[in-house]
Amino acid sequence: MAVIELELNREEEKMVTFLSDYYDRDDSELIKYSLKELYEDIVDRKVIANFEEREKSGKITFIDSDKIFS
C-alpha cells in the first residue's frame, strides 16, 4: 500500500475536518472516497459522451414502453 504525504494550509485543513465530520469518515477514508468519486465522474462523462456521439450518428433507437410491457 502506498503512503502519500499531504501538506494542507489552514483553510484546506478546516475543509478536511469539516468533511470528515460531515461524512463520518476519518481523513484517510475521506480522501480515498473523494478520489473514487472524482474518478467515477470522469468515467460517467466518457459514457455520456459516447452515448451522445452514437445518438447524433443515428445509432441509438428507443423502444416504446407499450412494446416492452405487452
**pLDDT given for residue 15 in this prediction:** 97
Sign for the CA dihedral angle at 22, 28, 29, 34 comes to positive
Q: Which of 2-6, 32-36, 63-67 has the highest mean pLDDT?
A: 32-36
pLDDT at 70 over 80: no
A 10 A CB-CB count for 30 gives 19
pTM equals 0.72
Distance CA 25, CA 33 (A): 9
Distance CA 24, CA 29 (A): 9
Asked if 33 and 25 touch (Cβ cutoff 8 Å), the reply is yes
The Cα diameter of the chain in Å comes to 61
